[in-house]
Amino acid sequence: MIKYLYEKDLRRMKLLILESRRHDAVVKEIATILGIKRQLTRKILIERCDMILLENLPARCDAARKHGDELSRSLGIPLFSQALQLITEEEGDHIIEMTMTKIQSGTDKDTAIQQAQSEILGLIRK
């Protein structure tokens, strides 16, 4: 019986990619933004991203970091929507709007950002 490449489990190869120096720096950045451990971040990326996206991850993230305002960059919206394609741009815009509304209505900025990070994580893990 012939076993095709697309039938193989590519998790180990994806993990090797994510453990390289440049990729690990991106994984660490994403983990910090979401407030989760690197291992969980790697697991999410392995499950949700294909090999081509993972291989080009550092360059995609470099390009995405140049987009958005201060709040969207601190929430990682350009990373999650453009570079990683883990959330849609509409979801990212909605999170930014909700966070800005909370801040303008008197919620502490750090609290609003933490709530937004939790919402982003929920969207990514669904």
pLDDT at residue 126, rounded to an integer: 77
**Which domains are delineated in the chain?**
10-125 (1.10.3070)
- Residue 31 pLDDT class (50, 70, 90 cuts): very high
**H or E element that contains 124:** helix 109-125
Residue 117 DSSP symbol: H
Q: Is 8's pLDDT higher than 90?
A: no
The pTM assigned to this predicted structure is: 0.83
- At 10, the pLDDT band (50, 70, 90 cuts) reads confident
Burial of 67 (0-12, 13-18, 19+ CB in 10 A): middle
Q: b or e along 44-56 (b: 16 or more beta carbons within 10 Å of the residue's beta carbon)?
A: bbbeebeeeebbe
Model confidence pLDDT, tens digit, residues 41-98:
999 999 999 999 999 999 999 999 888 889 999 999 999 999 999 999 999 999 999 9
Arithmetic mean of pLDDT over the chain: 90
How far does Cα 38 stand from its chain's mean position?
12
